[in-house]
Structure 1
Amino acid sequence: MSIREFDAIIIGAGQAGPSLAGRLNDAGMRVAIIERHLVGGTCVNTGCKPTKTLIGSAYAAHTARRGGDYGFTLKGQVAIDMPAVAARARKVILDSRADNETWLAGMANVELIRGHARFVSAHTVMVDGEELTAPRIFINVGGRAVMPPMPGVRDVPVMTNTDVVALDTLPRHLIVVGGSYIGLEFAQMYRRFGAEVTIIERMDRLIAREDPDISEEVRAILEREGITVRTGADCVGFKRHGGDIAVSVDCEKNDAPAIGSHVLMAVGRRPNTDDLGLEAAGIATDARGYIIVDDRLQTNLPNIFALGDCNGRGAFTHTAYNDFEIVAANLLDGEDRRVSQRMTGYALYIDPPLGRVGMTETEAAKSGRRLFHSKRAMVRVGRAVEKGETQGFMKVIADADTRRILGAAILGTSGDEAIHGILDMMNADQPIEQLRWAVPIHPTVSELIPTLLLGLQPWKGEA
């Protein structure tokens, strides 16, 4: 059997893969990029692109229903055309995927190979019976939703994020199992489309990695819109209930189950590393299947790198892209970039969104530092008042001795954008005073940040 030789092999055409292929192509290297399913990965096909498109439709419907708050009225009810909503999201997916495919096709030295890659050795992979070899191999295979072995889960229809973004009908009652980022976004979205929605969460509060005050406010925001939230669900199971699905919550108390027409499982994700033949190459993984990498994204084998969700060093599109930037800078530009240098921020895209960067207050307290803290309600923000969107708050935690911001949260309108002013100052390792004396544009959400910093006081442990 002949073996095809390349300068580099990239397994997976998600967020990092095509960008890396582009840089290697520009460097004159012959590259094989292998994709077994859809070019663009999770973000383009089942994640960021379609979900934020659907959230946009839901926001428009919600705002229309609030017309009276803005001085206008609509005749009759706001009617949701779910096939049209789904078609809008589908178009965004197809356009984005086509853009990626066209981009790859235009790279003179890059070949897109369709099929499933499995390692034969540390330098060789097999795709549909054909062997490919290269001195360097980059793994960018992403992840997928977890389907835990809960009682009865195989006996009823249960959706993941992949299924729910393709829905073109409105569930009568959507039960979301999992009270974290993905689940909460779909919960609010479908409530605004008109479905009844129940969230079931095993922990005693939503998004448990966040501080308690954020969890409480997010819950309040969702409940104000008529979403039922059931936390402390320590006995989740599934049964048929006529034409519906019954989801149990607490076995000891024998609480009434939630009865719904559709169920979305949103309890976490796992890496797509279980069918790559990693053992044939000797690539090390951890107990959860994530490929172990060092600070420069190199595996235990010096010629193999892992980028994106499969390496456990970030679960976001922007961290996957930064993985590409780190690898490209180190291999092609003579730099020394490391994962530990990046200041990771993220957002929860309910409405209003939560923008987050750095430590939570809980994490900062455990660090043993002397801390400053400040918190302001969004009703203090002129822009929020003008938009009629005053739910939430912003807060910051800082090191009292180094005068550096350790973490911040903006739960409020434009919080996902305004957080970048803080993120950038943290990334530049600048003291509080640099941002305190900035002069933000009025009227914006960001203009309250200097006032927030001016209000820093010794932290006494309360959220």
Structure 2
Amino acid sequence: MIQYDAIIIGSGQAGTPLSKYLAKKGLKTLLIEKRWVGGTCVNDGCTPTKTMVASAKTAWLINRSEEMGITTARTNVHMEAVIARQQEIVHKMRSGSEKGLKQTENLDLIYGEASFQGPKTVQIDLPDGTQQTVRAETIIINTGLEPHIPSISGLDQVAYLTNTSLLTLPTLPKQLLIVGSGYIGLEFGQMYQRFGSQVTLLERGPRILKKEDEDIAESLYSILKEEGVNIRLNTSLLSVEKSENGYMATVESEGQQSQIPFTHLLLASGRVPITKPLNLKTTGVHMDSKGYIPVDNSMQTNVPGIYALGDIKGGPAFTHVAYDDYRILTQVLFADQQLQGNHDILPYCMFTDPQLGRVGLNEQQAKEKGLNYKAVSLANTSVARAIETGDTRGMMKAIVDADTDLILGASMLGTEGGEVMSVVQMAMMGGLRWQQIAQSMLAHPTFSESLNNLFSQLED
């Protein structure tokens, strides 16, 4: 048994920087990784998907070039080249991160699957079939999430895809059926429709993006429908089976059953925590009913010395939240500070095209909280920069406190919506009132400049 000062299980966006930080502080540190360095973000999340989104947008821009006064042949998408470019970027980022870890003194990186043998003891199943046992007084869990595989009749007869396996598929699906209309389903749906697939997306509820305001969701729904994505609302997948030319899905919509042919099936119906392999019953660490590991403000579980960071602890599953967890834990361990992530001003972005940037509260959340608020919106058809660049899809929307005039949140659906959202986030962090943005001098012509027009509507 090898003794360490700290053991980190999982090299995601919290575990990787934390391992280097602890080692540089003089702690003998071990980082255990089952798969690849970088976690979901680098390997099958942010990096590869946004790389492919960029390729898909290039195809879309070429196909509408005549609208901009440019005549060119229609695009031909070469999926092998698209995947190769994406994989090259992923491998570059992964290998760079791995190199940095291996060059850090006091830090060991071991590939294998970790399972607890007690509160302070971890067994590692190594790739060669052997095992190694390690021990530390401080152990951090950063194992993240994995795709949820729903129970569907006939699924065992279909070579279904997840957001991970689709990233290395070298051929273009002729008919792609997607289950789920969350961020993963919508990003992949639009992406593959632009590449040339015939995409059908199934949503059990009455609309997409149930956590977003209805007008925002409706705007994006219209955008995707216009591009040809077949979105089936109030529709459940009952079964799948092989057919003469591929596969056939049986679905139910408002009590009526119908069939949808498909060649490829993407399961995008959520993600679940990776806790089962950890053997947490030997530690006394509590899990909730879904398998997440609750923590306190210091990121500690109910067992002293065992911490959980990132998606595995529940809450918003974003890379920047995981990195903020790392920042908080370093202050707890070395500065004796009880910090807490500020999720009241939580930013995030969905990279459909146009992007949806969100920060703080939206209108439906303000209603649920019973707040005295004002809502204001602006269609991008009234945004000068959008008109000039030829893309007026989407809208801007903000929520302000009617008593204090402080900004409670914003939803920016439009070109560079995430960047415009970040401007509002900075204003919220600085405690600015909506009048200060409405009356500020912003550079012309920019997308952010239209924040003047958005907030000035409250002056009426």
Q: TM-score range by the shorter chain?
A: over 0.9
Match in the other structure for 1:17: 15
Q: Is the 8 A contact 2:140 2:307 kept in 1?
A: yes
Identical positions, percent:
39
SS at structure 1 position matched to 2:220 = helix
Write the letter of the residue equivalent to 1:276. Answer: L
Q: After alignment, is 396-405 or 437-446 more displaced?
A: 437-446
Q: After alignment, is 227-236 or 143-152 more displaced?
A: 227-236
Q: Distance in 1 between matches of 2:2 and 2:226?
A: 60
User: Could you list the per-position Cα deviations for residues 36-77 of structure 1 after superposition, in whole angstroms to 9, with x for gaps in the alignment?
Assistant: 1111111111111110000000001110111111111113x2
Match in the other structure for 1:330: 332
| RMSD over aligned Cα atoms | 1.6
User: Could you list the per-position Cα deviations for residues 12-43 of structure 1 after superposition, in whole angstroms to 9, with x for gaps in the alignment?
Assistant: 01111110012112211110000011111111
Higher strand proportion, which one? 2
Q: Distance in 1 between matches of 2:32 and 2:121?
A: 13
Match in the other structure for 1:91: 88
Match in the other structure for 1:271: 273
How far did residue 359 of structure 1 move?
1.5
**Gaps spanning 5+ residues in structure 1: where?**
459-463
Match in the other structure for 1:4: 2
Q: Distance in 2 between matches of 1:117 and 1:39?
A: 15
Residues 453 and 41 of structure 1: CA distance in aligned 2, closer, same or farther (over 3 Å): same
Match in the other structure for 2:102: 105
Q: Is the 8 A contact 2:33 2:113 kept in 1?
A: yes
Q: 2:198 aligns with which of 188, 196, 199?
A: 196
User: Could you list the per-position Cα deviations for residues 277-297 of structure 1 after superposition, in whole angstroms to 9, with x for gaps in the alignment?
Assistant: 111011111000000111221
Match in the other structure for 2:225: 223
Q: After alignment, is 336-345 or 277-286 more displaced?
A: 336-345
How far did residue 221 of structure 1 move?
0.4
Normalised by the length of structure 1, the TM-score is: 0.95
SS at structure 1 position matched to 2:119 = coil
Pair 1:68 & 2:70 matched: no
Q: Distance in 2 between matches of 1:307 and 1:438?
A: 39
Write the letter of the residue equivalent to 1:325. Answer: R
SS at structure 1 position matched to 2:8 = strand
User: Could you list the per-position Cα deviations for residues 117-143 of structure 1 after superposition, in whole angstroms to 9, with x for gaps in the alignment?
Assistant: 111111111113322111111110011
Q: Is the 8 A contact 1:314 1:320 kept in 2?
A: no
Q: Distance in 2 between matches of 1:450 and 1:22?
A: 43
Q: 2:29 aligns with which of 15, 28, 31?
A: 31
Pair 1:56 & 2:58 matched: no
Q: Distance in 2 between matches of 1:120 and 1:252?
A: 50
Q: Distance in 1 between matches of 2:282 and 2:152?
A: 32
Match in the other structure for 1:294: 296
Match in the other structure for 2:239: 237
Residues 333 and 439 of structure 1: CA distance in aligned 2, closer, same or farther (over 3 Å): farther
Normalised by the length of structure 2, the TM-score is: 0.96
Aligned length: 455
How far did residue 439 of structure 1 move?
2.2
SS at structure 2 position matched to 1:79 = coil
Residues 46 and 214 of structure 1: CA distance in aligned 2, closer, same or farther (over 3 Å): same
Match in the other structure for 1:418: 420
Match in the other structure for 1:137: 139
Match in the other structure for 1:115: 112
Residues 213 and 252 of structure 1: CA distance in aligned 2, closer, same or farther (over 3 Å): closer
Match in the other structure for 1:461: none
Match in the other structure for 1:449: 451
